[in-house]
Amino acid sequence: MSPYVYIMYRLFLFFLFVSIAVSCNDHSLGDPVHRVYIDYPAAYVVNGGSSNLSVIRLSDLAYTEAIDLDQAPFPHHISLSPDRTLLAVAITGTDLSGGHGGHGGHGVMVEGQRIQIIDPVQGQIHHEIPVNGLPHNAIFHPSGTELWVPVGDTLQGYIQVYSTQGWNLIHTIPVGKAPSEVTFSHDGLRVFVANTRDGTVSVIDPEGKNVLLTVATGKDPVGAWPASNGRMYVDNEGDRTVTELDANSGAVLSTIHLGFIPGYVAYHSGQEELWITDVTNGGVAWFRQILGVWVQRGSLSTGDDAHAIAFTPDGSRALVTNQGANTVSVIEVALHEVVRTILVGDKPNGIVIRE
């Protein structure tokens, strides 16, 4: 080999090494270390302690992938855009697994509160929206043109509405103190905000962007969860109750006394049952209406600090996140029986299903 060829060969190896080293260390936004391709119906589970998403394939209920959230501190709940092309994950910067009252949780609030917009197929972070308060969740307007985010503290809370075209802030709506979850009614005609420190729920007209009324519920309400029966169900952690609201008028219809701390409420239309996660005992209790009154008909154990519930599209199974057990329980709805337990990340909380 001639000296000239030898020198060129060594230079080639040098530049090849440098390019590989740079590429291995350049994990910019939207370019995760571990690339995925999720072209199948799946459940996405937010792992608050692991700063990632666990992906569960629905066809065989197998854990398949982990989507890295770029070391985001304590991600919480997750939502799917109406066209199923985007995920929105709230990065709270606070460990909320110990409860939401006063937004204290177990840990100390840290920097980095924001909303991450993620491609559910490739797992890439497309955009990040910085916010100036603790965001429990972020939810898409039924039209897909807006993203609604609750922020604020124990003095004043707001709902910030962002355009999904340029992700710019277009509206700010004052609500109560320390807002937790913001949710849309099943028909999309009303927005509900749980004001945790106030013990109230704000009812908002999504078109006019104005608060229609403020409803007193129970102590430390966290979320008003929508149901296909035209109701909203508010889980009040502080007094261990669920308040049933009329989704159109916001009127209080009933109060369900539980005897345990509720984590989430989901209505199963096929069974006409109300499912409530039991944070105190680590499980799920289900209720049916008897002569117009919600009555508990049974319960089952899932795992420590049971949190969120998601029914599969056909309604045959329920997936329950267990924050204290680092698992997701799969329940056969008709049997009210756990048929599988899936190990996921640390402190799983929010879950959403994409068909």
pLDDT band, residue 112 (cuts 50/70/90): confident
Residue 149 has pLDDT above 70, yes or no: yes
Going by C-beta distance under 8 Å and a sequence separation of 6 or more, which residues neighbour residue 83?
144
Ordered strands of the 317-322 beta sheet: 306-311, 317-322, 327-332, 337-343
Q: For 214-271, how does the pLDDT look when each residue is reduced to its tens digit (9 = 90+)?
A: 999 999 999 999 999 999 999 999 999 999 999 999 999 999 999 999 999 999 999 9
Give me the mean pLDDT over the 284-295 stretch. 97
Residue 154 has pLDDT above 50, yes or no: yes
Residue 20 has pLDDT above 50, yes or no: no
State the burial class of residue 21 (Cβ atoms within 10 Å of its Cβ: 0-12, 13-18, 19+): exposed
> Percentage of the chain with pLDDT > 70?
87
Are the CB atoms for 330 and 314 separated by under 8 Å?
no
Please name the residue that has the structure tokens 């440098």: 18
* pLDDT confidence of residue 100: 64
Going by C-beta distance under 8 Å and a sequence separation of 6 or more, which residues neighbour residue 299?
278, 281, 283, 284, 285, 286
pTM score? 0.89
* pLDDT confidence of residue 167: 98
* CA dist., res. 260 & res. 239, Å (int): 9
Residue 169 has pLDDT above 70, yes or no: yes
* CA dist., res. 281 & res. 283, Å (int): 6
Residue 104 has pLDDT above 50, yes or no: no
pLDDT band, residue 136 (cuts 50/70/90): very high
Give me the mean pLDDT over the 93-103 stretch. 75
Q: For 51-72, how does the pLDDT look when each residue is reduced to its tens digit (9 = 90+)?
A: 999 999 999 999 999 999 999 9
pLDDT band, residue 173 (cuts 50/70/90): very high
* CA dist., res. 167 & res. 244, Å (int): 34
Give me the mean pLDDT over the 34-50 stretch. 94
Strands (DSSP E) contained in 157-292 are: 157-163, 169-175, 179-184, 191-195, 200-205, 210-216, 221-226, 231-236, 241-246, 252-257, 262-268, 273-278, 283-290
* pLDDT confidence of residue 2: 58
Helix, strand and coil content of the chain, in percent to the nearest 5, comes to 5, 50, 45
* pLDDT confidence of residue 34: 61
pLDDT band, residue 185 (cuts 50/70/90): very high
Residue 280 has pLDDT above 60, yes or no: yes
* pLDDT confidence of residue 270: 97
* pLDDT confidence of residue 101: 55
Identity at 69, one-letter amino acid code: L
Which of 93, 44, 45, 52 is CA-nearest to residue 69? 52
Are the CB atoms for 267 and 287 separated by under 8 Å?
no
* CA dist., res. 300 & res. 196, Å (int): 28
* pLDDT confidence of residue 25: 37
Give me the mean pLDDT over the 27-50 stretch. 79
Q: Which of 3-12, 102-111, 288-297 has the lowest mean pLDDT?
A: 102-111
